[in-house]
Amino acid sequence: MSDVCSAKGCQAPATWELLWNNPKLHTPDRRKVWLACDEHKGSLSDFLGARQFLKDVVPHADAG
């Protein structure tokens, strides 16, 4: 089974990984990962970017 997008209610296969860090909760080298489909890559990265949490966006390699 493919990994799915982290956007609420979205069941699309993930094609991107958004790597983020909340400095109030996480040590600086910690990375949380949200998965995103092509459709939600923009909105999810905007959400994280607006809070200055977004560190990197990389293609998701499907382990399946």
DSSP class per residue in 8-49: TT--SBP-EEEEE--TTTS-TT--EEEEE-HHHHHHHHHHHH
Sign of CA dihedral 26, 29, 30, 35: positive
DSSP state of 52: T
Among 7, 18, 44, 57, binds Zn ion (CB under 5 A): 7
Interaction between residue 37 and Zn ion (CB under 5 A): yes
Task: Decide whether 7 or 48 has the Cβ nearer to Zn ion.
Answer: 7
From residue 15 to residue 34, what is the string marking binding to Zn ion with x (rule CB under 5 A)? Answer: --------------------
* Sole window of 4-12, 20-28, 41-49, 50-58 interacting with Zn ion (rule: CB under 5 A): 4-12
